[in-house]
Amino acid sequence: MLNAVWNVLLVIILIFFIKKIVQHTPNKIKFYFYFFIYYLAGSLLACVIWPYFLLNPKNVKNAKAAAGIFKYVTRLYDLKWELRNSEILAEERGAIIVSNHQSSLDVLGLFNIWNVVDKLTVIAKKEVFYVWPFGLAAYLAGVVFIDRRDTKGAYKQLRETSELMKKKTKIWLFPEGTRNKDFTKLLPFKKGAFSMAIIAQQPVIPVVFSPYYFINKKKYIFNKGHVVIQCLDPISTEGMTMDDVSRLTEKVHDVMEKAYKDLSKEVFSSLPSDYPHTLEG
């Protein structure tokens, strides 16, 4: 009798959750379910693919293989990633790529354009490594983890990683250092990426993601959406010294913020007048 009661209760709870998930109106359960599926898909892929990475550990081509599979998660959310000026990213050369950081979905956008960039690795905070199995798979795929609390150690790691650019590998960083929830502007940039570029005398390629107007954590909104990934002209570091790091950092920030604001106007103006878009993630 008690088992029957528990079964009925579980069925009622399941029905309740399903109704919430399929509702057209935003709600807390639906919002977090979407992110849960995203993280679950990433973890499942990591579980399956990391043994394959052992055949050639820490090779950047491993990440490209994983990206080619995981990018199809995009279809679950009806998201469109539009890459502009792809020829800049496709050029075979070493470079530092810097982009704005709004959400964990940035990784999904990156995976959708990885095949264009080809030889690429990512700099991530050390904490990500401990999110297993994803962290393990990322490590074996060539992702470089740095401890932001250990400034000297982080800079040493960045210097060593810059050697990859001599092998025509691009390095992707998020210079804001954390997710930016303010969709009206970019956060100040940290200088590590630009120090790397100057040390290696390699160009900086700014990449700007348009605002994720379709996500709002406070209102539990997660709609389908269109994200423009704008690749800007490379900025040369040839002849620069470490005295130029601050100037380079400010220059890249300025051109990216201008592009971000232009993309914001473009994206928001294309939405219906009654669309519940947000300026806060």
For residue 7, is pLDDT > 80? no
Q: What is the dihedral of CA 248, 251, 252, 254, to 10 degrees?
A: 160
Q: What is the CATH number of the domain that holds 233?
A: 3.40.1130.10
**Does residue 8 belong to any structural domain of this protein?**
no
**Does residue 275 belong to any structural domain of this protein?**
no
**Does residue 49 belong to any structural domain of this protein?**
yes
Q: What is the pLDDT of residues 216-225, one digit of tens each?
A: 888 888 988 9
**Which residues lie closer than 8 Å to 227 by C-beta, 6 or more apart?**
79, 80, 81, 82, 109, 209, 210, 212
Q: What pLDDT, on the 0 to 100 scale, is given for residue 277? A: 64
Q: Note whether 191 and 178 are within 8 A (CB).
A: no
**Does residue 4 belong to any structural domain of this protein?**
no
Owning domain of residue 180: 13-269
**Does residue 261 belong to any structural domain of this protein?**
yes
**Does residue 7 belong to any structural domain of this protein?**
no
Q: What is the pLDDT of residues 129-183, one digit of tens each?
A: 888 888 899 889 888 887 767 666 666 666 667 777 778 889 999 999 888 887 8
Q: Give the total number of structural domains in the chain.
A: 1
**Does residue 52 belong to any structural domain of this protein?**
yes
The pTM score is 0.88
Residues 101-118 have a mean pLDDT of 92
For residue 51, is pLDDT > 80? yes
Q: What pLDDT, on the 0 to 100 scale, is given for residue 154? A: 63
For residue 191, is pLDDT > 80? yes
